[in-house]
Amino acid sequence: MNFLLQNGRVIDPASGRDEVADVLILDGLLADLRPNIELSAERAATVEVMDVAGCWVVPGLVDMHVHLREPGEEYKETIASGTRAAVAGGYTAVACMPNTHPVNDNAAVTRFILDRAREQGACRVFPVGAISKGLTGENLAEFGELRAAGAVAVTDDGRPVMNSLLMRRALEYARAFDLLVISHAEDLNLSHGGLMNEGPVSTAQGLAGIPGSAEEVMVSRDLILAEWAKTRVHIAHVSTAGSVRLIREAKQRGVQVTAETAPHYFTLTDEALFGFDPVYKVNPPLRRPEDVAAVKEGLRDGTLDAIATDHAPHSMLEKDTEFEYAANGMIGLESAAPLILELVREGVLSTAEAIAKVTCHPANILGIPAGTLTIGQLVDLTVIDPEHEYTIDCTTFQSKSRNCPFHGRKVRGRIELTLAQGRKAFARS
């Protein structure tokens, strides 16, 4: 629980810090942060000293969108395995989606997740409750009860709230409980039957398409409702140029909107589907190159505040099947960091901007105490070697699932150490 990290480049966007310094952790608490910390001989005997020269020392990463699958689908992931995957990927706080079995639409499930995370989790878990009971889109869940039990936000993620009146009520009630509403923006009538992005590739493949407008129609609706009700709304997994434009324009008008995208929407296009490999099947689907460019531009100009993984584990049972029948989703926790660093090397984001999109920005959106290095607090911290080159090998992942579209990709930037709540949660051996 006592560590001295020497000579790392400490980057903490929330405080504007970017300097080579030492970081001292005593009893799990961040004790000191400055260049050349000297230890007395007596103290040194109790402290694990690590030279991290050449590495970045950043606040523990925050993923505001993961599926941990527990309760109910423990063969895909558990809170234990999902948080082990998180810390291996540099994350120390994850917000987990409510599409579990049973659905997290009540205090008992929220409490179960928090208890399990406390007992078995490798890092902090922040449960997200359902907007509608059973995710059926019919009746609102009890937001006050969910909030009191520890939910930080509500969403029907995996499904949209198709009923606009219910979404209006959700936004109004959520405001009363200071809960963030996260929108899975999809018009089910427009996406109905679609298996991939609608465009030349879906035509060539003979697969039914999901048009970008299926997302954009619902982004528009939720922006209108949030503006009208004077509430905030967060748009999940933004994938199209049109959505980026709509959110940008809404922000300019003063609508309280925040938005996230995921690494697969700025690194992969629908052309990946040419081989009919279900590992690339995800909802919303991989889009056209011009959408990828717009998502990057949205990240660059701040339209897209956060990068989340949408870590969506599935077993071979759901994925190793005909494309039509395969489940949507990709795992992401253990491959995200080097893909985000690609944005820095491409000049899309500065180093501090990239770190902010996975630390203080998502923490602020969720309203959770995370995403920055604070003296005197239990430390959540990640050490990244930005230059280490390697090939992603999902067979070595901590996640129980293997649906990783980046398996075999050559990347640069590796997680070396993760301290979660003062404990060594992951260390590269």
The H or E element containing residue 383 is: strand 381-391
Does residue number 362 form part of the binding site for ligand DOR (CB under 6 A)?
no
Helices within 63-106 (DSSP H only): 79-88
Q: Quick one: which of 107, 223, 262, 312 contacts ligand DOR (CB under 6 A)? A: 312
**Helix, strand, or coil here: 201?**
helix
Rounded to 5 degrees, φ, ψ at 229 are -85, 0
Least Cβ distance, residue 285 to ligand DOR (angstroms) = 9
Token pair of 379, please? Answer: 């430390």
Known active-site residue 32: no
Least Cβ distance, residue 125 to ligand DOR (angstroms) = 16
Q: Quick one: which of 213, 328, 350, 351 contacts ligand DOR (CB under 6 A)? A: 328
Torsion of CA 397, 235, 155, 101, to 10 degrees: -30
Q: Quick one: which of 52, 59, 61, 67 contacts ligand DOR (CB under 6 A)? A: 67
* Active-site entry in 310, 320, 385, 393: 310
Does residue number 329 form part of the binding site for ligand DOR (CB under 6 A)?
yes
Q: Quick one: which of 113, 282, 394, 420 contacts ligand DOR (CB under 6 A)? A: 282
- Say how far apart CA 84 and CA 106 lie, in whole Å: 26
Pairing of strands 196-197, 257-261: unpaired
Q: Quick one: which of 157, 216, 385, 416 contacts ligand DOR (CB under 6 A)? A: 157
Half-sphere exposure of 420 (CA within 13 A, CB side): 25
Residue 8 or 284 with smaller CB distance to ligand DOR? 284
Residue 83 or 99 with smaller CB distance to ligand DOR? 99
Does residue number 184 form part of the binding site for ligand DOR (CB under 6 A)?
yes
Does residue number 213 form part of the binding site for ligand DOR (CB under 6 A)?
no
The CA–CA distances, whole Å, from 223 to 138, 164, 186, 335, 364 equal 21, 12, 13, 31, 20
Provide the greatest CA pair distance for the chain: 71
Q: Quick one: which of 155, 267, 283, 403 contacts ligand DOR (CB under 6 A)? A: 283
Does residue number 99 form part of the binding site for ligand DOR (CB under 6 A)?
yes
- Say how far apart CA 246 and CA 250 lie, in whole Å: 6
Enumerate binding residues for ligand DOR (CB under 6 A).
67, 99, 157-158, 184, 282-283, 312, 328-329
User: Mind telling me the catalytic residues?
Assistant: 310
